[in-house]
Amino acid sequence: MALLAGLLTAAPLGSAEKLRIVVVTSSAILAYREALRGFTEAMEAGPGELFTVDLSDGEQQKRLPALVAGMKPRVVIAIGSQAAELLAGAPVAVIATMVLDSDRRAASGGNPLATVSLEVSLTTVLLEVKHVVPGTTRVGILRDPARGGPSQAELGAQAKRQGFTPEFANSNGPQHLLDSFVSLSNRVDLVWCPPDSSLFNPTTVQPLVMASLRHRLPIIGFSESFVRAGAAVGVYPDFQDIGAQTAALTQRYLASQPAAPRETPRTVKVAVNQRIMRLFGLSYSQSAVADGRILVIR
């Protein structure tokens, strides 16, 4: 609130040409806070002043238009899809970060100008899986094709390039999830579950993990929480580094340097669930654990 008060009484830009950057977070959840921390730390050395707005604070959200109008920031950073959607029509350059569905946003034109996506490609996932759980060669892909993202052909090609034989199981909604998952039984070594909140959420994850154990189908999850819940392995973005990556993208924009409209996470984290791995008889790289490259969840 003090920040806002200062902003609203700040002198118009025209007088001093100060470089201002407004960072709007969709909420105060830990992931966004980590990204914000990564961004602010990376921007510390650069020019400009940072101002943050948390949309979960109703007062801050209401004053956002006045803030944007009054401060005339060079760029607004939208952390999370809620912030990105809110700022889609804003008369200011927006860089969105910590979002999925970035292809659709980029295609629709206007804001955001650039995006740092949360999507970890199958290529990256399998690259890590090969190191963490060597010897696995068949991967199942459980997804809802109606949700968008890479096509089945693209995913298949990515898997093959990494030396995996892909098998696909499509689930048109959570009601078909278990049937689709079980259909991969005896056909694959691991099942990749890409992030999709309608398919994988607190309601569906428990029966899915039980099915995973009963049918001996280890899951590759998309978050540390999923690994704690019972996925054998998880490959997921490093949120703090996404913040730093966003800062680098912002600095390139401010310097009028060319920047790709969409970036994917440059760093990922890997976690394994030790008890699940033990139940499946899967071994993981101890040297990677010693190096800190794998988080072991007990």
Partner 1 sequence: MTTRILSACRRAACGLVVFATCVACAADSPQRPAQDGSAESALFEELPVVEAASLHAQTLQEAPANVTVITRLEIRKFGYRTLAEALANVRGFYVTEDGSGYFVGVRGFSLLSDYNTRFLVMINGHVLTDDVYGSMYMFGQDFGLDMDLVERIEVIRGPSSALYGSNGVFATVNLVTRSPVEEERIRVSTESGSLGGEKVLFSASTYLGRGANLLISGSAFRSSGRAAFFPELGQTATGISAERGYHTFANLIWRNWSIMASFNDHQVTVPTGWYGAVFGDRNTRSEDVHNFVEAAYTRAIGTAGHLRWRIYYDQFRYRGRYDYPLEDGVVEDNRDLALGDWAGTQFSYAFTVPRVGLLTVGAEVNFDLRNVQQNYAVAPAYHSYLDVSARDVWYGLFAQQEWNLSKTWTAYLGARFDDSKNHSAFVSPRVALVYRPTSTTAFKFLYGRAFRNPSAYETFYDDGSLYLRNLSLQPERAHTLEIAWERKLGQRVELTASAYQYRVAGLIESVTTESGLFQYQNISRARASGVELELRSRPARWLETSASLSVQRARNQTLGQTLVNSPGRIAQFHATVPLANNRLTLSPALRYLSSRLGADRGRVPSVFIADATAATHHLHRDFDFVFGVRNLLGHRYSDPLSPEHLTRELPLPGRTAFIKLIWQHE
Residue 61 is a binding residue for partner 1 (CB under 8 A): yes
Is residue 31 a contact residue for partner 1 (CB under 8 A)? yes
The alpha helices in the chain, defined as continuous H runs, are 2-8, 13-16, 30-43, 58-71, 81-86, 102-107, 122-132, 152-161, 177-182, 202-214, 224-229, 239-254, 274-280, 286-290
Asked whether position 276 contacts partner 1 by CB under 8 A, the answer is yes
Among the listed ranges 15-23, 132-140, 157-165, 277-285, the one in contact with partner 1 (CB under 8 A) is 277-285
220 scored as a contact of partner 1 (CB under 8 A): no
Binding of partner 1 at residue 202 (CB under 8 A)? yes
- What number of CA atoms fall less than 13 Å from residue 67's CA on the CB side? 25
| Site membership for partner 1, residue 113 (CB under 8 A) | no
How many Å separate Cα 195 from the centre of its chain?
Answer: 9
- Residues 72, 4: Cα–Cα separation, whole Å: 14
AA letter at 196? D
Q: Nearest 5°: CA angle at 117, between 36 and 212? A: 105
Binding segment toward partner 1, per CB under 8 A, in 5-13, 75-83, 137-145, 154-162: 75-83
Does residue number 82 form part of the binding site for partner 1 (CB under 8 A)? yes
Give the nearest distance from C-beta 253 to partner 1 in angstroms.
Answer: 20
Q: What 3-state DSSP class applies to 28?
A: coil
Binding stretches for partner 1 (CB under 8 A): 26-27, 29-32, 55-56, 58, 61-62, 64-66, 68-69, 80-82, 86-87, 89-91, 98-101, 118, 147, 178-179, 182, 195-197, 200-202, 205-206, 209-211, 213-216, 222-223, 225-226, 228-230, 236-237, 274-276, 278-282, 298
